[in-house]
Chains A and B, each alone.
Chain A
Amino acid sequence: MSSNARLQVLPSRMSQMQMKLRLVGAKKGHSLMKKKSDALTMRFRAILKDIKTNKEGMSDSFRKANFSLSDAKYNAGDISYAVIESAKQAAKKVRMRTDNVAGVTLPVFQQTVDETASAEGFTNISRGGEQIRACKDQFDELLSSLVQLASLQTSFVTLDRAIKITNRRVNALERVVVPKIENTISYITSELDELEREDFFRLKKIRNKKMKDNLEKEKELKQKQEELAAKGVAKVSKGENSLLGSYGSNVDEDEDVIV
């Protein structure tokens, strides 16, 4: 982005005022965005940390849960058929609610247990029930940590996207919008100055012109007077004449110089 890009505006006092207002707005927006991005990043880091610990524990609890299944099989024989047959509807369900961090809505999953659908009856009394129950507990634990992990992961992705967008906005404000507005303002300022100088020059020119005209008039007047004097009428002072003459030569020389 070229540094002297600017908005297409009519260089006028009004647009300058407008631009200045926009600049203030952009700066304010920038600082707010920056704060939001910081807040999100902080949350992001916290979630990252959680995910890390959670994932580290995950492999262990997976192993444990699978092993407790082996344990149950060792004690109770093949239970898979009974589990499959007795599972009619899900006893555990995941409900989603939202959490708000600095204006970003994060999905949070929550596990709800439907006690009536739980296949508790199965583990009731037969041999190996103790191990089956232990196995069930292990898998329950695993499931809840999985749900938690899923919730964290989703928040992670959402936050990641939000942070990227925010950062992009901050950067855009910082690197594009604000310089553009500043450029525009300086452009407007310079244009306005130019106009002023032009006006000044024009005024000067007019004054010179008028002065020349006055001189000529005076000359004519003098000629007339000389003619009149010749006719012997009046005398004109010499000093005044020389002063006018020096001024007029100066102006002629410096006609194009901007003061």
Chain B
Amino acid sequence: MENDLLPQVLERVRSPIDDAMPILKSIIGAMIAVVIFLCVVLPILAGVTAYDIDAWGDIFNGIDPYLWAGVGIGFVIGFSVIGAGWGITVAGSSIMGACVRAPHIKSKNLISIILCEAVAIYGIIMAIILSTQYKFDKDGSGNPTQYDYASSGYILFTAGLTVGLGNLACGAAVGIIGAGCAIADAANGALFVKILVIEIFASALGIFGIIVGIIMQSKANFTNQ
């Protein structure tokens, strides 16, 4: 009788849901998906019915190096702005909330926003630097080899991707730390400087990406001059 009334009597123990297995499953799933995409979908799209390793060369050869370079430049500014925006969202919402009870923190904590903003600026700088490499050999005076021509495209693409992803991570990190910083500052002003140090370290992550990116792009050579 009681069991009818109280159906939950039957399920005895409510244990916390285990987070590990779903995450593991999604990672393994993603890996399998990538392999299937590269080994099955792409070859089929490229018109290969039987798997042929040489077809890869044809696929990538078919893409213009200028496309690679342009996408790289797009990535660097795009990812950087996403990172900066994300960071500002995360930090800004916390700063706003913390300001309700402790209005004095708002000007101090602008520094978190500025550090996030700096990430976007890195992206712009990097985009400008990369686009100076984006040159055309119109009269053929430079005569870049086919190899130079292709590798320049890949270099600009990967440099852009490197800096972009670096800035994305940097912006998110600065934002999350900025959120913590605002809350900590509101509770105890002495903590601000300490957390600011952490925030600056996070901000430095973006610079690593930029350094690597600058070194990489210096190798690019579309016009062989």
Consider the complex of A and B and state whether they touch directly, i.e. have CB atoms less than 8 Å apart. Answer: no
A interface residues (Cβ-Cβ under 8 A, vs B): none
B interface residues (Cβ-Cβ under 8 A, vs A): none
